[in-house]
Structure 1
Amino acid sequence: MRANQPTAVAREVLGHPRALPYLFATEMWERFSYYGMRSLLVLYMLKHLLDPERMAQVWGLAAFKQALEVVFGPLAAQPFASQIYGFYAGLVYLTPIAGGLLADRVFGQRRMVLAGAALMAVGHFMMAFEPLFLFALGVLILGNGAFKPNISTQVGALYAQGDPRRDRAFSIFYVGINLGAFLTPFICGTLGELYGWHYGFAAAGVGMTLSLVIYLFATPYLPPDAFAKRDASPPLDAQSWRAIIALLILFLPVSLFWATYEQQGNTITLWADQQTDRHIDLLLLAFDIPVTWFQSFNPLMIFVFTPFILALWRRQGAREPSTVTKLAIGCLLNAASWLVMYAAATDTGGGQASWLWLLGFFAVLTVGEIYLSPTSLSLVTKVAPTSLLSMLMGVWLATSFAGNFLAGYLGTLWSSMTHGSFFLLLAALSGAAGLVIALLTRPLRDVLKG
């Protein structure tokens, strides 16, 4: 059974619990570190680390490549980099299942967030040392598993069951995520591309350290860990089991959304590097846009578009789409964004495309993300049984594990398909996911209310 009252301190800031701004800032700097490292990862591997002489210095990398080649066949540098990216980005979202379970059953959300933040800070600084590359990724994966499900769960715990501010709170929280993601290419990306890869990774470590410090200051205002509520909870009733099954049904189509969405850190980075005319001439200012700066388009648009979309939902009133309908709309808009890239690939005829095509792509992709990602987090906190909330948040975040793992495999096709065909494939996968969710809307309406 879900609690009927919020557990957080009642003091409010701008109509929301006082803890929300602290969690906003904590997540902002954590995402700064994550996306800073991600914006550099593929370029770092292709332009530096996967040089044969350097590869030999990285502990375990040759053995890892041999293991992948047993399954996928010989891997050139680009497919190998794509597979590493997919494994890393995928496992980042698998470990939250264990992190959520440990929070629910053993340590509580607060201690897991603190442990995760500390591990990730260490992992980012380890990235500055080439021989530790794979071990650094492993530490980052474990840290994210402890941090990610429990910070999101704490946002949901600030609001009573049925509180209409919950969806909006997660959208505000999502702006924090994307503010960090927006800033990081200009800092970590610029340092990495222009001054040395390790400076970029170290900057990500500084961001994660700031996240940890802010969370420590937030402690007096956070909702308490749910041990008392969990111990008092009765066995799961039929409605709770139906909600869990419904979330699992939605797992596959949402995973397909993330499989296509996550190409922006992989093959879209390569498109920006190799197939995009990045020159800007603004009268007194002329320069080439650094490749990593394109990673700022999406988060910038998140916090520009979010207020307008929230206003649209409020204006729709009773006609506001249900949460499940929003998931379907998000997938279909994601499919449309890849049709923009298909148009870019066919329009150029193999030459370089204007950077404005990427601007249009990110605009459509971003609106789809706003419809799907924060509302899906809100959905889990609405319907998941309290005794399993953190674990089920981890299970839901594992949609990104499945999606990123598939994204890594899809990225290996970049070198063997025409770019137009590749973008059409991504559009088809996301479009199919949207249609499946749309067909499930009516059957799941009574189970997943909201």
Structure 2
Amino acid sequence: MLNISPNKLNQKVDLGHYKSAQKVFHKRHYKHFNRFLLVFAAIGIIVLFLPWTQNIAGKGYLTTLKPDQRPQTIQSPIPGRIERWYVQEGDFVKKGDTILFISEVKNEYFDPNLLQRTGDQIAAKAMAVTSYKEKVDALNSQIEALLTERGLKLKQARNKLIQSRLKVQSDSIDLEAAKTNILIAQRQYDRVEQLEKEGLKAVTDLEAKRLKLQEAQAKLISQENKLLAAKNEVINSEVEINRTQAEYTDKISKAKSDMFTAQSNQFDTEAQVTKLENEYANYEMRSDLHYIRAPQSGFINKALQSGIGETFKEGDRLVAIMPTEYDMAVETYVEPLDLPLIHLGEKVRIQFDGWPAIVFSGWPNLSYGTYGGEVVAIETFISDNGKYRILLAPDKDDQPWPNEIRVGSGANTIALLEDVPIWFELWRQLNGFPPNYYQPENEMANSSTK
């Protein structure tokens, strides 16, 4: 009864005569029930003051600690056509083992003797380079011979010039002597002519002196001619020197021009040889790329291109491979609001999918089936899902992770934060407040040292 009427029925009617009332309204029943409520309330109050570990829960998956240990796909750097498979899915391959063989699809590489023909072109061009080198050497020898010959010719011409100049000096002296002789002959003739007029000399003596005077005059004229001829010889010698210099300069210039032309052809041919050698190396490496090999030891997960005769472009994925040696890690994500609470070296509890576990997030010591992890990397840029990526490595101070876990399987993570009373945690959860911001002891020590 609600007992809302002013007419109290329980005061007028005695319910103690009824058996059901006697069982319900027994005083000992109230006594035990009240004790139970008191004990429950006391326990509840005590529990509210028990320590509770604040945590950040996240969902992630298993990956590897190093990038080169993660599952990868093998691409072909060249386009081609699948000709033969050497493996099947699930096979184990070692590093360098051949996975499949491909053939060319571009017409410029169809020639099966491409390497041999390119090698023949290189040999022919190399011989041309040798020929040009020999021609350059021959022209150098010719230039040296012309330089030597020019030196000798110029020396000969200079000697002849010196001789001509000496002859000019000799003829000049002879001319002076002839002038002196004619003066003497003239004076003698004049004296004899005077004596002949006085009758002291005979006519024959006068005629002899006249003859002698004429001979001296003739000799003077002859000596003058010799002097002029000697001067002409000097001029001719100088002209010869200039002619010889010009002649051999022209010959040497022509030989040098031919040598430079040969050198230019040599360098051009050497450039062609280098280009052909580059093409040969490219062809050789390209032919080696026809065999797709395993970059590291692992298992063939899936053939992304199948069949025989199927074509593909460069960079297309052909097959997926999983390395055999890897260090396990967990990749998880946290909200931007919780990111300041995560630090390097932070301890994290991990529950792997498919692995039995009993988890008490606030009491990690009472949890069963969880494994320890440690924060080794924190992403500084937000991911596409609006969260920040955290990489966890196995905790060396905790039990090792199971060997049966595989890359790609899911994992639930619990980042352990500060210890607070349960009543505070309930109050925080009811109000939607974030966990308490705190600073780890090692970072506090580093900051105080700084």
Q: Using structure 1 for the length normalisation, give the TM-score.
A: 0.16
1 or 2, which has the higher helix percentage?
A: 1
Q: Using structure 2 for the length normalisation, give the TM-score.
A: 0.16
Q: Which of these two proteins has the greater Rg computed from alpha carbons?
A: 2
